[in-house]
Amino acid sequence: MFSASHRLHSDEMSAEQNQAVYGKCNNPHGHGHNYAVEITVSGPVDESTGMVCNLVDLDGFVHQHVLERYDHQNLNVIQEFAENVPTTENLCIAIYKIVQRGFRLAHLERVRIEETMMNAFEYRGDL
């Protein structure tokens, strides 16, 4: 899980359009979430360890490349959101790309993020 702030705003739209599309999420001061991230990997079970992959390796990778990157940050100032609105849809895709590029020990199936208790988003890698 990581805690971050964001603001939903697109420079391609007028102020009124931004208000209409994003409502409260357009607040110029931003707002925050505790994002709960689930990473699902798959693979055969290794006969000698009984594991698909060692969770220490997966946790370590996610901690170093996802949590350290986003935790206690303002998503709007992070490079991948310079030209992309930091909706949780786009966050799912960004985290998927990070894990897919860097974690080789199992096959990445999906990234799921709970933005609040009532909303969750999932990306499985197809565009």
Catalytic entry in 31, 38, 72, 109: 72
Q: Give the nearer residue to another protein in terms of CB position, either 27 or 54.
A: 27
Catalytic (active site) residue 115: yes
Region binding another protein by CB under 8 A among candidate stretches 48-56, 70-78, 97-105, 113-121 = 113-121
What is the DSSP annotation of 87-110?
-HHHHHHHHHHHHHHH--SSEEEE
What does each C-alpha distance from 103 to 34, 40, 66, 89, 109 come to in angstroms? 24, 12, 12, 21, 12
Give yes or no for residue 99 binding another protein (CB under 8 A): no
Instruction: Decide: 115 and 35 in contact? Cβ < 8 Å.
Output: yes
Tokens 């490349």 belong to residue:
65
**Min CB(73)–another protein separation in Å:** 18
The distance of closest approach from Cβ of residue 45 to another protein in the complex, given in angstroms and rounded to an integer, is 26
Contacting another protein within 68-97 (CB under 8 A): 84-87, 89-90, 92-93
CA distance 111 to 95: 7
The stretch near another protein (CB under 8 A) out of 8-16, 27-35, 51-59, 65-73 is 8-16
Q: Which residues are catalytically annotated?
A: 25, 72, 115
